[in-house]
């Protein structure tokens, strides 16, 4: 199979070719690896191949998996594969390997995907740009001098460039949605507890985290959520089953929705770039054209509240994880192995008391109640994912000395002011690639649904995709441009 032919398909499309015996999983893996070889030097999305895991997958591809034989990337933080390095994008964690799959990794495997590599991330996933000291920056396939987003930046860049059709991603403050926005791909953050976190923990980042993928098509994300959703044994929380499969939802138009939109930032956040305002207004018009009720409205959530949720809940989790690794390895945190702002976040987490953490959960509760009340007036909220198009590399330098945790989180959330409140509330939210700037950079549109209502979001996303397709948009760095 030619690389350019391979890159035309989404994940389900490739799986259909495998099931029809028009191509083998091995041929797809070899083609994906060839695409990585040809393109990765331009964007640095893939930090390593995983030949032993690839070979294991090819020998054990489940014939009934939705994604039978589809090439896949593992993100360097979060859900972990047995015996595949999981190094958190950090020099401090170099060589760290889990000897077992966590439950989500086991479900990824059962879906049929074949892991061919590991994707680049910012250190500890604590940046909206992927430019770690350990592996260097990931460039945006649409303009390599601009950020690919973070923390799933390597994943989104690789999918946008056609190296793989789907890639593992997760989101603790915007880390699926921001890179999907920057790279012009689709990314949905599921509801809290929609997917398993066991056996290591019962919730990620004290409930802020969600896991799924980034993809070129809505149906791929929907089908992967079908393949991986549901509590695992011993989980403390259980969400209701969806009324229909997420994949089926993506094929159906939604009922007439009440869609609130906003081009006004949360109180205390920076102004929104004109291109992002235009993107939201155009998306609102498209929704209205599709028959939905569209009106302007915003919840009463402040920028300070959103920043506090991420800073004061994520920091102690990071501090605890670092302490465990250091105790197990005998390593010590220093400027030589841990970046300046991750050291600042760790220091902040170590300084917090149990009472401080309880106060942070109190802020998250206040925000969740405000959002819950707001969503009694609408079905979906529409905003930009980011306050500007993708900035240039270097603007979000995580190794910049002199910033404390408050300053660093504020810098990040000034760019992603609409994202972290929904990690606090646990609501599903997605970035839909509906707009490109005049100079060719993607701007994702942020749609948020009620808690546990991914079905409505997938219905809307599928409808938008059919009305304004994006899969044929080709960045300058793309496998579609290769022979």
| Full domain range(s) for residue 200 | 3-481
What's the confidence (pLDDT) of residue 371? 98
Q: Is the Cα dihedral 166, 306, 368, 287 positive or negative?
A: negative
- The pLDDT tens digits of the residues spanning 334-347 come to 999 999 999 999 99
- Backbone torsions φ then ψ of 176, nearest 5 degrees: -95, -45
Give the pLDDT band of residue 61 (cuts 50, 70, 90): confident
- Can you give the pLDDT at residue 458? 99
State the Cα angle at 256 between 255 and 262, rounded to 5°. 125
Do residues 185 and 214 touch, judged by C-beta distance below 8 A? Answer: yes
For 59-90, b where at least 16 C-beta lie within 10 A, e where not — what string? eebeeebbbbbbbbbbbbbbbbbeebbbbbbb
pLDDT tens digits along 130-184: 999 999 999 999 999 999 999 999 999 999 999 999 999 999 999 999 999 999 9
Instruction: Please determine, for residue 483, whether its predicted confidence score (pLDDT) is greater than 90.
Output: no
pLDDT mean over 65-80: 97
Instruction: Please give the Cα distance from 465 to 146 (Å, whole number).
Output: 26
Mean residue pLDDT of the chain comes to 97
Number of C-beta neighbours around residue 239 at 10 A: 18
- Judge whether residue 224 has pLDDT over 90: yes
Task: Give the pLDDT of residue 63.
Answer: 78
Half-sphere exposure of 465 (CA within 13 A, CB side): 26
pLDDT at 24: 97
CB atoms within 10 A of CB 27: 15
Q: For residues 46 and 154, is the Cβ–Cβ distance under 8 A?
A: yes
Token representation of residue 350: 């170590």
Least Cα distance to 429 among 105, 210, 262, 166 occurs for: 210
> What is the Cα–Cα distance from 79 to 13, expressed in whole angstroms?
25
How far apart, in whole angstroms, are the C-alpha atoms of residue 431 and residue 386? 10
pTM comes to 0.98
Q: Prior bond to 280 cis, omega within 30?
A: no
Cα–Cα distance between 369 and 363 in angstroms, integer? Answer: 10
Residues 6 or more apart in contact with residue 51 via CB below 8 angstroms: none
Counting the structural domains of the chain, the total is 1
Could you report the per-residue pLDDT of 282-330, keeping only the tens digit for each? 999 999 999 999 999 999 999 999 999 999 999 999 999 999 999 999 9
| CB-CB contact of 179 with 148 (8 Å) | yes
Helices (H), 184-245: 218-228
The CATH number linked to 278 is 3.90.1300.10
Considering only CA atoms, which of 178, 240, 199 is closest in space to residue 423?
A: 178
pLDDT (mean) for 90-106: 97
Banded pLDDT at 64 (limits 50, 70, 90)? confident
Q: What is the mean pLDDT of residues 46-51?
A: 98
Nearest in space to 207 (alpha carbons), one of 361, 355, 6, 413: 361
- Give me the pLDDT at residue 62, please: 81
Instruction: Report which secondary-structure segment, H or E, holds 166.
Output: strand 166-171
User: What does the pLDDT read at residue 106?
Assistant: 97
Is residue 266 classed exposed, middle or buried when 0-12, 13-18 and 19+ CB atoms within 10 A define those classes? Answer: buried
């Amino acid at each position: 199979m030619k690389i350019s032919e391979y890159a035309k398909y989404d994940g389900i499309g490739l799986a259909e070719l495998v099931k029809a015996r028009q191509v083998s999983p091995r041929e797809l893996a070899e083609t994906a690896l060839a695409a990585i070889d040809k393109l990765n030097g331009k964007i640095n999305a893939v930090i390593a191949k995983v030949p032993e895991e690839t070979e294991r997958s090819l020998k054990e591809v489940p014939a009934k998996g939705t994604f039978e034989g589809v090439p896949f990337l593992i993100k360097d933080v979060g859900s972990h594969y047995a015996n595949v390095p999981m190094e958190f994008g950090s020099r401090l964690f170099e060589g760290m390997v889990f000897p077992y799959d966590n439950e989500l990794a086991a479900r990824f495997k059962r879906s049929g995907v074949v892991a061919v590599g590991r994707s680049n991330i910012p250190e500890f996933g604590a940046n909206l740009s992927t430019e770690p000291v350990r592996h260097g920056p990931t460039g945006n396939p649409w303009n390599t001098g601009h950020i690919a987003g973070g923390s799933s930046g390597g994943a989104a860049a690789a999918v946008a460039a056609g190296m793989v059709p789907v890639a593992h991603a997760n989101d603790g403050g915007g880390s699926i949605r921001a890179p999907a926005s920057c790279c012009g791909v689709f990314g949905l953050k599921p509801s809290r507890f929609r997917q398993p976190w066991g056996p290591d923990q019962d919730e990620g980042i004290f409930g802020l985290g969600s896991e799924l993928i980034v993809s070129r098509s809505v149906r791929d994300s929907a089908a992967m959520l079908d393949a991986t959703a549901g509590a695992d044994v011993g989980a403390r929380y259980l969400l209701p089953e969806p009324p229909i499969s997420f994949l089926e939802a993506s094929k159906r138009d939604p009922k007439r929705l009440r869609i609130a939109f906003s081009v006004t930032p949360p109180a205390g956040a920076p102004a929104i770039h004109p291109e992002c305002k235009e993107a939201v207004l155009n998306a609102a018009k498209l929704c209205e054209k599709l028959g939905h009720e569209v009106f302007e409205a915003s919840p009463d959530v402040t920028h300070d509240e959103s920043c506090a949720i991420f800073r004061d809940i994520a920091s102690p989790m990071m501090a605890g994880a670092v302490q465990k690794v250091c105790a197990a390895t005998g390593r010590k945190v220093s400027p030589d192995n841990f970046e300046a702002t991750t050291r600042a976040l760790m220091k902040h987490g170590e300084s917090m008391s149990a009472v401080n953490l309880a106060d942070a959960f109190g802020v998250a509760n206040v925000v969740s109640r405000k959002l819950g009340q707001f969503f009694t007036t609408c079905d979906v909220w529409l905003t930009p994912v980011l306050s500007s198009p993708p900035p240039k590399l270097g603007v979000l330098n995580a190794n910049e000395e002199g910033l404390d945790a408050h300053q660093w989180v504020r810098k990040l959330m000034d760019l992603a002011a609409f994202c972290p409140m929904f990690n606090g509330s646990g609501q599903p939210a997605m970035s839909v690639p509906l707009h490109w700037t005049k100079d060719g950079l993607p701007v994702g549109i942020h749609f948020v649904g009620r808690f546990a209502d991914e079905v409505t979001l997938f219905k809307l996303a599928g409808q938008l995709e059919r009305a304004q397709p994006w899969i044929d948009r080709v960045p300058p760095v793309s496998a579609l441009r290769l022979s």
